[in-house]
Amino acid sequence: MIDVIILALALSMDAFAVAIGLGSKRLKQTSSLAIITGIYFGIFQGAMPLVGYLAGKGLLGWLSHYTPWVAFILLTLIGAKMIYESMTTGIEQDITKISHKIMLMLAIATSVDAMAAGFSLNLLTVNVFIAAAIIAFTTFSASAIGVFIGAKSGTWLEHKAELLGGIVLIVIGLKLLLISS
């Protein structure tokens, strides 16, 4: 279960970083933005691992000998992408008005990584629905907190969160590979 919590924290860092960027716009309704951001990001971040898990389950028979390697490669690629993104400016910098359409696009963009990470849930002995709920709740909380942090302090923490999340995902991938070898 600790692996799922660590995975949830790592996956939520992307949403956390975007939420900081949204909060840094210093809108008047910070509380409602925090709740809306948490709901959008939490729902998508919780649902996408289920999609990845089910896709992985279907491929598991064909890739059973290579499953640890596939999980390692996917988590390493996701981690590397997050590390790269930590060194570039985020999409939320270009947003001038926050609408439901924008929130939907951001929620999808920040949760695609979670779909790929869902494949690795096939290697853990955990109820996938509980894991998805933990990921959703963690992302909801991190996103809501990120909006408040952004509103208070700007974006100084935004890139550090993505960097940390990327590193943690790579470490989780390496751990899965080493444990199954």
Higher pLDDT, 88 or 171: 171
pLDDT tens digits, residue range 79-104?
Answer: 888 788 777 765 555 555 677 888 88
Backbone angles phi, psi at 164, to 5 degrees: -60, -45
Q: Which residue has better confidence, 17 or 137?
A: 137
The pTM for the full model equals: 0.78
CA distance 132 to 135: 5
Q: For the purposes of burial, counting CB atoms within 10 Å of the CB of 75, is it exposed (0-12), middle (13-18) or buried (19 or more)?
A: buried
Q: Which of 163, 155, 164 is nearest to 22 (CA)?
A: 155
What's the number of domains the chain is made of? 1
Of 44, 18, 48, the C-alpha closest to 142 is 18
* pLDDT: which is higher, 88 or 107: 107
Domain containing 74 — which CATH number? Answer: 1.20.1250
Q: Which long-range contacts (CB under 8 A, 24 or more apart) does 178-181 make?
A: 179/68, 180/67, 180/68, 180/123, 181/68
Query: Structural domain of residue 59, as residue ranges?
Result: 2-180
The rounded percent of the chain whose pLDDT value lies above 70 is 86
**Residue 67 pLDDT > 80:** no
